[in-house]
């Protein structure tokens, strides 16, 4: 295995949003129509992840020693090594790429149950489905699997003009991120590398200018409930049905041997 990662350096990002456009273009995602765009008092646009928006730059207003500044962050799938979505997905539509360890998504296998969207500790996968029938699909970033498996770069990395995005071997990206953190410390004393030691090592690493909590990122995300469900409740259920059937079969054999109907009133 040759584990891959993307590094996003928020201290280099200029929020040009070229990555958003490149992602939509390469992955055939629809944009929001002019008529549906609303001013929400922020430059952030689109406002959130959606089935059509796999990545976007969030604009956070922040004060640093009384001076206003924006904190930018490229939002999208973290490609966790220990991934809650892969654990709960009943269809294997979500699984790890055996070579790159990226969490890939196959829409043909997805049945639209949406467990991924509910169990992801980062709330990344987005479900688009009919509320009544449940028919629909989930979707999320796959690091442009069609490009990377052919030796290319993800579309967002390819297009990044500010040099904020890099893609490569996981170890190299961690080393690069640590170097970037050191370089950024002069301007951002709270700079840190996010993701190297979370959930077995995230595939999406961040160089953050401030503490993760400032960005609303969990310091140490876990997915205990998903694990209890998949590793305890479901196997116990299956075993209990087997034990129940076996017990009843044994009781039936004992009863058949001992009960003589002609003696029954």
Partner 1 sequence: MSLKLKDSGSMITIRWIPRYDGMERFLHWAHTAAFFPLVITGMVLFIPFLAPLAQGEAGQLIRLIHRIAAVFFIAVPILYALFRPRRLLNTLRDLRFSRYDIEWVKAAVPYYLLGKHRDMPPQGRFNTGEKLNVIVLVTGTIVFSITGLVMWFGKGIVPPELFRAMVIIHDLAMIATVNMFIIHFYLAVAHPLMWQSLVSMRFGMISESYAREHHSAWYYGEERARKLYEERKKAAASEAGGHGG
Binding interface with partner 1 (CB under 8 A)? 90-93, 108-115, 117-119, 123, 127, 131-135, 225-226, 228-229, 233-234, 236-238, 240-241, 244-245, 248, 251-252, 254-256, 258-261, 263-265
- The single-letter DSSP state of residue 53 is B
Smallest separation (angstroms) from partner 1 to the CB of 221: 12
Grouping H, G, I as helix, E, B as strand and the rest as coil, residue 20 is helix
The whole-angstrom separation of Cα 18 and Cα 157 is: 10
The whole-angstrom separation of Cα 206 and Cα 164 is: 10
- Side-chain-side CA neighbours of residue 166 (13 Å): 19
> Which residue, 1 or 239, is less far from partner 1 as judged by CB?
239
> Which residue, 186 or 265, is less far from partner 1 as judged by CB?
265
> Which residue, 189 or 238, is less far from partner 1 as judged by CB?
238
Q: Among residues 238, 235, 197, 236, which one has the least CA distance to residue 219?
A: 197
Smallest separation (angstroms) from partner 1 to the CB of 45: 21
Distance from chain centroid for Cα 62: 26
The whole-angstrom separation of Cα 148 and Cα 157 is: 11
> Which residue, 90 or 200, is less far from partner 1 as judged by CB?
90
> Which residue, 64 or 91, is less far from partner 1 as judged by CB?
91
């Amino acid at each position: 295995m040759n584990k891959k990662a993307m590094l996003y350096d928020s201290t280099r990002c200029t929020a040009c949003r070229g990555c958003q456009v490149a992602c939509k273009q390469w992955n055939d995602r629809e944009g929001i129509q002019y008529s549906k765009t609303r001013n929400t008092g922020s430059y952030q646009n689109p406002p959130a992840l959606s089935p059509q928006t796999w990545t976007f730059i969030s604009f956070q207003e922040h004060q640093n020693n009384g001076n206003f500044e924006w904190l930018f962050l490229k939002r999208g799938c973290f490609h966790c090594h220990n991934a809650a979505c892969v654990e709960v997905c009943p269809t294997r539509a979500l699984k790890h790429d055996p070579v790159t360890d990226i969490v890939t998504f196959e829409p043909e296998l997805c049945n639209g149950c949406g467990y991924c969207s509910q169990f992801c500790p980062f709330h990344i996968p987005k479900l688009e489905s009919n509320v009544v029938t449940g028919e629909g699909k989930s979707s999320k970033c796959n690091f442009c699997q069609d490009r990377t498996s052919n030796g290319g770069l993800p579309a967002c990395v390819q297009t990044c003009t500010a040099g904020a995005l890099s893609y490569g071997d996981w170890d190299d990206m961690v080393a690069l991120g640590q170097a970037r953190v050191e370089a950024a410390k002069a301007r951002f004393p709270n700079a840190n590398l996010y993701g190297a030691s979370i959930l077995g090592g995230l595939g999406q690493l961040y160089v953050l200018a401030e503490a993760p909590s400032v960005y609303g990122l969990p310091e140490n995300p876990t997915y205990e409930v998903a694990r209890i469900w998949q590793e305890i409740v479901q196997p116990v259920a299956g075993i209990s049905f087997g034990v129940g059937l076996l017990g009843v079969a044994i009781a039936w054999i004992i009863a058949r041997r001992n009960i003589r109907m002609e003696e029954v009133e």
